[in-house]
A and B are shown apart, each in its own frame.
Chain A
Amino acid sequence: DAKTTQPTSMDCAEGRAANLPCNHSTISGNEYVYWYRQIHSQGPQYIIHGLKNNETNEMASLIITEDRKSSTLILPHATLRDTAVYYCIVNSGTYKYIFGTGTRLKVLA
C-alpha cells in the first residue's frame, strides 16, 4: 500500500474551515483514500473515503487531485470538538490499514 505524508500539526480558528492536506504520490489506480480521526484516548473514527471523485458527507468533504497524488480533507466549520489527530490512509483492499503519523489539528476558540 502507498505511503502518505501529512503535516505534523495544524491550528484552525473555531468556525473556520480546516483544510488538511495529504500527499500520496505513489498511489496506484485501485487504491482508495480514507480519512480517520482519533480523539484523545478513543479508537479511530471514520470520516470519509474516495477513489477519484470528490466526496462529501455530513462530516467533511474530500477533494482528490486529478492525478490522485494528493488530497485534502475539509471540515467546513471547525468546532472545538474537531480537535484530534487526523489520519490519511490509502488502501487497495489488502484491508491492512497502515497508519502514518497523522496531523494533529487544534481548533482554537
Chain B
Amino acid sequence: GAVVSQHPSRVICKSGTSVKIECRSLDFQATTMFWYRQFPKKSLMLMATSNEGSKATYEQGVEKDKFLINHASLTLSTLTVTSAHPEDSSFYICSPLGLGEKGLYEQYFGPGTRLTVT
C-alpha cells in the first residue's frame, strides 16, 4: 500500500517557461499534501502544505506566485513552476499524508521530479 507517483520523473525546460509536476496517491486518499525541494547534496526543504480544496500554505521565503499548487482532489496534487529560471533547477518531491498501519497519519513520499532549467 501507500504508493505515490510523480510525473514527469525528469524534465528539462527553457528559461521563462512553466512546468507542471503531478503527484498522485495511487491507493489511498490524501487530504493533505506536502511539497519539498532538494538541491544537490542538501537536505529536503519544505516548500508548502496544501489541503484538498483549500489554498496552500507556503513556508517563509517560498514565492506563492511562482510555485502554484493545486490540490483539487484527494488523489492528485500539482505543482507548477511558473516562469522557470536556472536557479529553480532542483529535485521536487511530493509527500501526501495518509493513514499508516499503526493507525497514525504518516507522510509518504513520491519518487521525485528532477527539473533542469536551461
Contacts and interface: CB of A to CB of B under 8 A. Distances in A.
Instruction: Bin chain A's interface residue count.
Output: 20 to 34
Contact of B49 (A32, A96, A99, A100): A96
A46 B106 contact: yes
Nearest to B43: A99
Contacts of A38: 44
B90 interface: no
Contact of B93 (A43, A46, A95): A43
Contacts, number: 49
Contacts of A44: 44, 93, 109
Interface string B8-46: 000000000000000000000000101010000001111
A42 B112 contact: yes
Nearest to A102: B43
